Structure 1
Amino acid sequence: MAETLVFLILAHVLADFVLQSGRMAQAKAEGHAGWMLAHIGTVGLISALLLGAQSPLALGVMAGVAAVHLGIDAAKVAIGARVSGIMAFVADQAAHLATLVLVATLWPGLWAQGLWADHAPIWMPAAAAVLAGAILSTRAGGFALALLMRPWGDVGLEGLPGGGRIIGLLERGIIFLLILAGEPGGIGFLIAAKSVLRFGAVKEEARLSEYVIIGTLASFGWAILVALGTVMLLSAVPPLGIPDLSP
């Protein structure tokens, strides 16, 4: 089951946060059916490819996954105007995850019966879990944080264009790696370093200070939750094979 779930999650993450362009996401939100169907086709195709679906049952299940994805996305568009951006995003992703868990529970052998299972290295599911977690932690986290901070968009530090976004990507990526490496204590040093670097810019402005604190805590929290979820998945699949370099 775990291997099937890992590749279903990776397919979802790739379709939603890597292969879905900003134009496609905007067109979906505006209710353009063509772009919605293109996205759903990507979901079904990537899921089938990663699992190596070949039997009529497996292909039918992948079609079902795509159909449910369509229903969830359509519901998000329908309620988008009545629900705040971050709440709609979290609910959307939670519904997708619940669907994938259900599929992996009902058809746990999708990966084992696929085209790649007998030829792929034993560490392939673990590598897929790490890749999915890295994308969720960095790129998906950026979308989530942007939605969370949107109500206070008029507050911000003046700096390099896109600097805040890059800082967020780096800090979430570092946190993700620290937890996977078994060194969560390093997060404290990251918090301290960011606090020192930001102190001079925000110490005399309460609104700006609160903006930075909210964004930082949310960014760190997102990365920690995703990393812990990735560790749970890794514990259920064959090891990645990276040697223990600790003293």
Structure 2
Amino acid sequence: MSPHDLTPTGIVSRDEWLVARQELLTREKELTRLRDALNARRRALPWVKVEKAYAFDTLEGRRTLAELFDGRSQLIVHHFMFGPGWEAGCIGCSFAADHIEGTRVHLEYHDVSLVRVSRAPLAEIDAYRKRMGWQVKWVSSHGSDFNYDYQVSFTPEEIARGAVTYNYATANVSIEDLSGLSVFYRDANGEVFHTYSTYGRGDELVDSTYMLLDMTPRGRNETGPHHNLMDWVKRHDEYAATK
């Protein structure tokens, strides 16, 4: 299909279009109210105290999970798919990281720290971070249980048995690392609590490119073999090579 080969569902007058648009607006408002209610239920979830002493390799040295809060009370962890020995980080996670990057300063001034965590060694992570030009703190959980405990990394034995738990269900996966977002809270006593995690399409709302594409006539236009972002997204420094 050529870029200009798109058939509209109908051609109408401006007045007729306004009627259809107002009908859609009613549904959009319903979704907005539903999303507000869902967000309230998310915030009302009970918490789980983090008992294990996790430690991470950072550019500033070894840091505990509590230290990743950087003095703030809330922490968002982007579980970024980047395993030891990989040549580059996951394309989908890189797509998400491009969008998240611009939120950092706003989050930090709203009592929220943001970090990326991957299993790759710190030197491999930092080389890719510099290539991408990102500033968000990115740490390594190499040698730690963190990724496994928060169900974004899996052992070869688990994969072979088909006993992987991902997105709160048993799943068949073929790779050792998947993506997600996890949220933590640190109280005045320094105790850390896990409050929320989301996986799969649950982290899609951070990808504002999708939100904009959803407004366009073609939408996401993911018509390739995967029917997802793997059909078209590239790392942001790779698009020029395709022209």
Q: Structure 1 length as normaliser, TM-score?
A: 0.25
Q: Structure 2 length as normaliser, TM-score?
A: 0.25
Bigger radius of gyration = 2
Higher relative contact order (CA 8 A, sep 6+): 1
Larger helix percent:
1
